[in-house]
Amino acid sequence: MSFESMWADLQPVGRSAHSGGYRRFAWTRTDHDLREWFAGECTARGLDVTDDRMGNQWAWWGEPDDAARRGDKGVVTGSHLDSVPDGGAFDGPLGVVSAFAALDVLRDNGFQPARPIGIVNFVDEEGARFGVACAGSRVITGAMTADRARGLTDADGVTMAEALEAAGRDARHLGRDDETLGRIGAFVELHVEQGRGLVDLENPVAVATDIWPHGRWRLDFPGEANHAGTTRLEDRQDAMLGYAGAVLAAREAAISHGCVATIGKVEVTPGGVNAIPSAVTGWLDARGASPRAVRRAVADVRSMVEQAGGHVTEESWTPSTPFDPALSDRVRDRLGGVPMLGTGAGHDAGILANAGIRTAMLFVRNPTGVSHSPLEFAELSDCLEGVAALGAVLEDLAGAPA
């Protein structure tokens, strides 16, 4: 199974004929197909697949529990297979496919690992369905409680607990999973770069330094439904006006505090062209190098929303996440001194790092710099450079003394 054939297998799964982008959402039929694909790749390599308490899929070359009894731990790589609405092909799947391809390279070379190597498929990294990104890694690390996860709802009002049950899973099982975490000595996630850093540096691969602090906030605006033709302007309570103000306020706040802010999702009730909105809910995503700057920008938006009679709820917050400096330096040295890059994108690697696990990331060049869009791209030759880099890193981490 070459990189190219695995890539070709995944290509049609969850692809929208309309946009050419992917709609791969947690605990849907498409997600089930992706999970089956992952399990099939494991089986084809003689690896058993286990699900942790959140349904993240793990496969081990070697016996992590035997290693733990010897006081050793495994080296894990992998990423996620879900997508944002109309997402690209690479964000997530590149890390999973590269993990299998790197393991194949090691085996073809006759490498005998001194400690186990694991491959993981994290569920629901994008939070596209239930709103909280990295739900899979947050729950097993305790960064999100099982009760909160179970109660999250999708756009149709289906709770995560209901979606899990519909997918044939036991939602009571969710929770922090120390047994799974205890097997991980180091986690290295390979990911497509989501900017143009490597284009400018003219390099196919980089090592990550850190992830910007970032969060999501829900903005609720109340109004009163009424007729679009017969209601005088002065009699209206139009929820859309407050929301429109918030969009502009977010942009202003980002400029004045030196960070970025996006409102990329909105729900309008009742949603009729000829009805004044009785409620509008928008979701704000804010990030930046400085957590203080992000907090100040969000405070500006909050005061505007409250003045408009609306309400702000924080749905998630991830602090600044530096990756393990010693591990990252070791990875960089192993790769002959490739560039180091920070990122404004969130990752399961960041959640594991914040849980105290030794974590590093590799980025693969993206010639457009575009991500979370069907235009996201990486050249095959760069993907194969990424596989070679990941193989070299795994060989180092799984072969040498810890």
| Residues binding ligand GLV (CB under 6 A) | 126, 133, 345-346
57/268 Cα distance (integer angstroms): 36
Neighbours of 245 (CB within 10 A): 17
Question: Looking at beta carbons only, is 35 or 257 nearer to Mn ion?
Answer: 35
Report, in Å, the least distance between residue 90 CB and Mn ion.
9
DSSP 301-362: HHHHHHHTT-EEEEEEEE--EE--HHHHHHHHHHTTS--EEEESS--HHHHHHHTT--EEEE
Q: Compose the 208-227 pattern: x for residues touching Mn ion by CB under 5 A, - for all others.
A: --------------------
**Part of the chain binding Mn ion (CB under 5 A), chosen from 20-28, 89-97, 111-119, 236-244:** 89-97
The three-state secondary structure class of 273 is coil
CB of 127 to ligand GLV, least distance (A): 7
Site size toward Mn ion (CB under 5 A) is: 2
> What DSSP character marks residue 158?
-
Kindly give, in sequence order, each residue whose CB lies less than 8 Å from that of residue 100, ignoring residues fewer than 6 positions away. 1, 6, 41, 45, 119
Residue 92 contact among ligand GLV, Mn ion, none, beta carbon within 5 to 8 Å by kind = Mn ion
Q: Which does 152 bind (CB under 5 to 8 A by kind): ligand GLV, Mn ion, none?
A: none
Extract the tokens encoding 305. 């929303």
Q: How far apart are CA 49 and CA 133, in angstroms?
A: 24
291 contact choice in Mn ion, ligand GLV, none (CB below 5 to 8 Å, kind-dependent): none
> Do 181 and 355 form a contact (C-beta atoms < 8 A)?
yes
Q: How far is the CB of 150 from Mn ion (least distance, A)?
A: 24
**Residue 92 interacting with Mn ion (CB under 5 A):** yes
Q: Which is nearer to ligand GLV, 61 or 122 (CB)?
A: 122
Write phi, then psi, for 159 (nearest 5 degrees).
-80, 160
376 binds, among Mn ion, ligand GLV, none (CB under 5 to 8 A by kind): none
How far is residue 320's CA from residue 290's CA, in Å, rounded to a whole number? 8
Tokens of 27: 């605990």
Q: Is 277 in the site for Mn ion (CB under 5 A)?
A: no
Query: CB under 5 to 8 A by kind: which of Mn ion, ligand GLV, none does 346 bind?
Result: ligand GLV
Residue 84 CB, nearest approach to Mn ion (Å): 6
Instruction: Check binding of 91 to Mn ion (CB under 5 A).
Output: yes
Q: Please say which residue, 133 or 190, places its beta carbon nearer to ligand GLV.
A: 133
* Stated length of the chain: 402
Judged by beta carbon, residue 64 or residue 92, the one nearer ligand GLV is 92
Chain residues that interact with Mn ion, rule: CB under 5 A = 91-92
